[in-house]
Structure 1
Amino acid sequence: REIFAYVVNLCKNGDHYWVFAHMTPSFGPDGTIVGFHSNRRVPHADALPKVQTLYRELRSIERAHASRAAGIQAAAARLQQILDDAGMTYSEYVFQLSHETTLLAAVS
């Protein structure tokens, strides 16, 4: 299934940059997934502080665990808790970040 996400990309020299990505599977003639396709856009600047704060929190949770798998599981549980508390799905949360920014820009 497709997903939209804010993604931090790391450069070879150690720099990084954020994108708003749309990722979707590519299907073969028999309907099986044969790969993935991603379109990336410049993210809304106003949404980035919220995304970066969440990213730092989840990375901190991941790093607090001895095994990578346990860290990822704990961070995923925290993200799900945030979504549950907000009463949103992941997709709704991601679009709400951009939507708030778009609404604010339209009013300004």
Structure 2
Amino acid sequence: METPPKQIINEEVKWDKTQTIVSKTDLHGTILYANDIFTQACEYSAIELIGEPHNIIRHPDMPKVAFKVLWEALKKGENFHAIVKNLTRTGRYYWVITDFTVDKNEQGEVTGYTGRRKAVPEGVIKKIEPLYKTLLDIEKLKGEKVSELYFEGYLKEEIGKNYNEFVVDLFKEESKKEQYDTPANKDKIKKGLNWFFFGDFL
């Protein structure tokens, strides 16, 4: 497998934003399954993705603390949502909201994780991107621990919610303003995000 491109292109990749990107990983984040829309968005084939760590699509604009919070929640067996900027094979990007669920066997043991991803409204990106840039700048200048402490302080003092709640509420708020602003979708949004990831959206 070739490594992700060193040249980052500030250009969004074209993909079918009405569809749900799905992937499954083992406990260590190794990709076990990728659906067709995932391969379309990230520009890798399924064969290239299988057996690779999920961070093969990690964009350098993403602060590490966002993934740390994610993995801590998953290891506790908690469902989790995140706003993520991903890197494609050609160096382009795509933004998604992700719903992570924990996979278990018949004995109740955790065997891996399933991620479902959808496109997000532009308003979400405009609000989350400056925060991610700040966290990344702190990380580069002062280290990951300082970035983590700032993130905790920001969520507590300015948002009053944990990261998962912040992401879900931000998505709901911006969805109501933009292309998802229809009476039917407003009712669905109020019921939570399961309809969004598991049902037909548009």
TM-score, length-scaled by structure 1: 0.83
Instruction: Give 1:96's match in structure 2, choosing from 166, 169, 172.
Output: 169
Q: Distance in 1 between matches of 2:97 and 2:79?
A: 13
Which residue identity is paired with 2:117?
R
The percentage of counterpart residues that share the same residue type is 25
Q: Which residue of 2 aligns with 1:46?
A: 123
Instruction: Give 1:75's match in structure 2, choosing from 131, 137, 147.
Output: 147
Which residue identity is paired with 2:164?
S
Which residue identity is paired with 1:14?
G
Q: Which residue of 2 aligns with 1:2?
A: 79
Instruction: Return the offset for 1:15.
Output: 1.2
Q: Which residue of 2 aligns with 1:13?
A: 90
RMSD: 1.7
Which residue identity is paired with 1:102?
S
Q: Which runs of 5+ in 2 are unaligned?
A: 1-77, 183-202
Q: Distance in 2 between matches of 1:36 and 1:103?
A: 29
Q: Secondary structure of the residue that 1:64 maps to in structure 2?
A: helix
Instruction: Return the offset for 1:93.
Output: 1.0
Which residue identity is paired with 1:88?
K
Q: Which runs of 5+ in 1 are unaligned?
A: 66-70
Which residue identity is paired with 1:90?
Y
Q: Distance in 2 between matches of 1:36 and 1:15?
A: 25
Matched, 1:55 2:124: no
